[in-house]
Structure 1
């Protein structure tokens, strides 16, 4: 099964989402860490009351995490799961695909 074009397509689809999403999230997270360490003046700017830029960036880390998880679940359901189910059915039947 590993050598079938369908399995290669499943891996290609998975990687086309996971690698860019992981890279983007890591850049976003590292930006937050870098700004927290070396741009204290910027991060301490008050936006509303006692809420500053650092707090907003921190909250956005959570929002980004949940958003990315939601988007991956939708992507997986639409693009990965149907092909994975087909591969599983072919495997259980003993076919080559």
Structure 2
């Protein structure tokens, strides 16, 4: 139950962050044309930077999802798996520790 709750919280927070950012970009594009057309450099304006920022945000959120999962979700999943196996598995290495092939 705790594993599901953490995963749902994590996924929900990341989806809300992405959709909020994307909706803000769409609304600015539709209703704040003067702001979006402000020139930053020669042929670069605010709209172009915010559009490219959407791609950057996607990668940052994917990285954050992986990092949070490794720290908060994977240990819980391993604990549940070990309990289901009857504790037959050896303890997992630390998240930031060296990689061990199994």
TM class by smaller structure: 0.7 to 0.9
Residues 60-71 of structure 1: pairs in structure 2 closer than 5 A:
60-71=53-64
Are 2:84 and 1:91 aligned?
Answer: yes
Q: TM-score, normalised by structure 1?
A: 0.81
Q: TM-score, normalised by structure 2?
A: 0.78
Which 5+ residue runs of structure 1 have no aligned equivalent? 1-7
Residues 4-19 of structure 1: pairs in structure 2 closer than 5 A:
8-19=1-12
Larger strand percent = 1
Which 5+ residue runs of structure 2 have no aligned equivalent? 88-102
Residues 1-97 of structure 1: pairs in structure 2 closer than 5 A:
8-93=1-86
Q: Following TM superposition, by how much is the alpha carbon of 1:15 offset from its aligned partner in structure 2, in angstroms?
A: 1.9
Runs of 4+ in 1 over 4 A off after TM superposition: none
Larger displacement relative to structure 2 (58-67 or 16-25): 16-25
